[in-house]
Amino acid sequence: MNALTPGVVHRPRAVLRLAGGKGINVARAAGQLRAAVAAVGVVGGGAGRWIVDSLRAEGIAFTAVPGTAETRTCVSIVDVADRSSTDVYPAASSLGAGEWAALEEAITKLVARRGPRWVSVSGAFPTGAPDDAVERLTGLAHGFGAKVAVDTHGAMLERALRSNVDLIKVNQLEAAGLAGEADSTAGLCHALAARAGRGAQVVVTAGVDGAYTLSPGEPMCHVAPSVRGVYPVGSGDSFLAGLMVALSAGRDTGEALRLATVAAAANSRVPGAGRLDASALADWQ
């Protein structure tokens, strides 16, 4: 909308309804970067059915695990006047009895069938997921030869740091919550890398200040975006998609970080998480 003012009625100038969730956002963005992608998740109720239909219409391969709870609906309001986004995210629905086991089985079958180079574990884990969910999914993917990238928060992020994941991507706020005080984003990246299990690659994103990464045996790498858009929601997911696509193609750390930043910037140019502005992808090469 043109401007967001608390306490008054608003008439938005445009409304976009889009199937979401961080994993779906990553898949959508990676697909636009010409990667072969598939997503899996627990969905329920009318919203869940709509997600399945919507993703089918988009051409995104999605394995739906039936859930008993209604899938949540999140709202993002973009104020184009001051380039801000106000986001309302309800708590994720709890998993019902047997739903985690069904999800794990669906992921196992999907990874076995498609043989991906990378598996993204993205988003908050719902109540009902086992405490060792990150370790279980990581072991599952590694068992089929895939690498694992994790983008989550809270206790599961702490566990990811201590597990055998290959890549951990966090934003500046999440990094500070785990690493404590640091004098810079680069300092946060160093602090997290020192705690990462078996020397995983650590990436810390900082919005318009760009992204920092440390990989085992390599120097710190930093890339800042060349453009800033109005729509930040989904930029982190698009960044991760770009990073995994570039690494899958054999790009080195610095080049992969640059291309990931291009993908994030392309997301910020158009509304809708994981939707990339084609004109902003000229540098994707």
Establish if 252 belongs to a structural domain.
yes
Strand blocks (E) in the chain: 39-43, 62-66, 75-79, 84-88, 118-122, 147-151, 167-171, 201-205, 211-214, 221-223
Establish if 1 belongs to a structural domain.
no
* pLDDT surpasses 80 at 5: yes
* pLDDT surpasses 90 at 178: no
Band (pLDDT 50/70/90 cuts) for residue 111 is very high
Q: What is the CATH number of the domain that holds 132?
A: 3.40.1190.20
Q: What is the pLDDT of residue 229?
A: 84
Establish if 12 belongs to a structural domain.
no
User: pTM of this prediction?
Assistant: 0.94
Tokens read off for 52: 């399945």
45/48 Cα distance (integer angstroms) = 5
By residue range, what is the domain housing residue 88? 22-279
pLDDT digits (tens, 9 = 90+) for 196-221: 877 789 999 998 889 999 998 899 99
Average confidence (pLDDT) over 116-126: 95
Establish if 4 belongs to a structural domain.
no
165/126 Cα distance (integer angstroms) = 20
Average confidence (pLDDT) over 43-52: 97
Establish if 91 belongs to a structural domain.
yes
Average confidence (pLDDT) over 97-115: 97
Establish if 128 belongs to a structural domain.
yes
* pLDDT surpasses 80 at 228: no
Establish if 2 belongs to a structural domain.
no
- Neighbour-count burial of 249, counting CB atoms closer than 10 A to its CB (0-12 exposed, 13-18 middle, 19+ buried): middle
Tokens read off for 253: 């750390």
Q: What is the pLDDT of residue 176?
A: 86
Q: How many domains, the chain?
A: 1
Establish if 212 belongs to a structural domain.
yes
- Neighbour-count burial of 155, counting CB atoms closer than 10 A to its CB (0-12 exposed, 13-18 middle, 19+ buried): exposed
**pLDDT averaged over the chain?**
93
Report the interhelical angle of 235-248 vs 22-32 (nearest 10°): 50
* pLDDT surpasses 70 at 285: no
